[in-house]
Amino acid sequence: MLKPFWADLHIHSALSPCGSLEMGAPEIVSAVRKAGIDVIGIADHNTCDNFPAISEAAHGDPVVLPCIETQSAEDIHILTVFPDFKTATEYKAWLWEKMLPIKNNVDYFGYQVVLDHCNNILREEETLLIQGSRYEVDQIVSKVQSIGGLAILAHVDRPSFSYPVALGPMPADYPADAFELSWRIDSVQAAMWREKYPGRTFIRSSDSHTLDTISRANCTKMTLEAPTFEEIRKAIREEDGRRISWPWG
Ligand SMILES: [Zn+2]
Ligand SMILES: [Zn+2]
């Protein structure tokens, strides 16, 4: 039976240098439960290494999907979503073949900590995660799709790290699965995007770096049979009655 579920596919953990250290596994899980969100993506910059911690802490409530906010050579952010952790880690290995061995400067960028489900620190990531991999956006989109993932152009309305800022307006038929809009824009601005790209799928995500932005008001309602990767993929393609509600209602 189809019913509405709330999805926020773009949440950072304490592993992202810009993510607050309050973004630990139990804290994210309880904020998401409190907000009434059914499925989340843990999307740290260029890594998925905190997925196991949050997934274990959640015990299926919410459903947690392994994601990576990939940064391309053009400094474009792509929200990449994977069906399972194995696929995500294989993609990460591919991505890191073209990451530079730049060390994180903790004082400047912040800590990058890999946690377990109780927030014990397993290790610190030494390589700076906020850097562009040497792959171009087109290569990233095509790689992700070839291994069964979803490639969503992140925060296309934002003045930094977005496709339009780096390369100009997206072609109407750009092969990404969807475009993500930030919750920071209002319904009038959002409507302009919809008019500009008729027939394209848009999602809204919180891009949370702190707990206080985790909210239904900042994410997307989807009509699905269950809050799973496969159902979300169908909703993006509007298959079998699955669909994505326009986030600005
Ligand atoms: Zn971003
Ligand atoms: Zn982000």
Inside any domain, residue 158:
yes
Distance, CA 9 to ligand 2 centroid (Å)? Answer: 10
100 CB burial (10 A radius; 0-12, 13-18, 19+): exposed
Total tally of structural domains belonging to the chain: 1
Burial of 87 (0-12, 13-18, 19+ CB in 10 A): middle
Could you tell me the residue range of the domain that residue 72 belongs to? 3-244
In a domain, 249, yes or no: no
CA of 1 to the centre of ligand 2 (A): 32
Residue 94 included in any domain: yes
Relative to the alpha carbon of 77, which ligand is closest? 1
CA of 8 to the centre of ligand 1 (A): 14
How far, in Å, is the centroid of ligand 2 from the Cα of 192?
Answer: 23
Query: What's the CATH number where 184 sits?
Result: 3.20.20.140
Q: Are 6 and 38 in contact (CB under 8 A)?
A: yes
Q: Which helix (H) or strand (E) holds 151?
A: strand 150-153
Q: Per-residue confidence of the chain (249 residues) as pLDDT tens digits?
A: 999 999 999 999 999 999 899 999 999 999 999 999 999 999 999 999 999 999 999 999 999 999 999 999 999 999 999 999 999 999 999 999 999 999 999 999 999 999 999 999 999 999 999 999 999 999 999 999 999 999 999 999 999 999 999 999 999 999 999 999 999 999 999 999 999 999 999 999 999 999 999 999 999 999 999 999 999 999 999 999 999 999 998
pTM over 0.85, yes/no: yes
Say if 236 falls within a structural domain.
Answer: yes
Considering every ligand atom shown, identify the ligand nearest to the alpha carbon of residue 158 and give its number: 1
Distance CA 141, CA 146 (A): 9
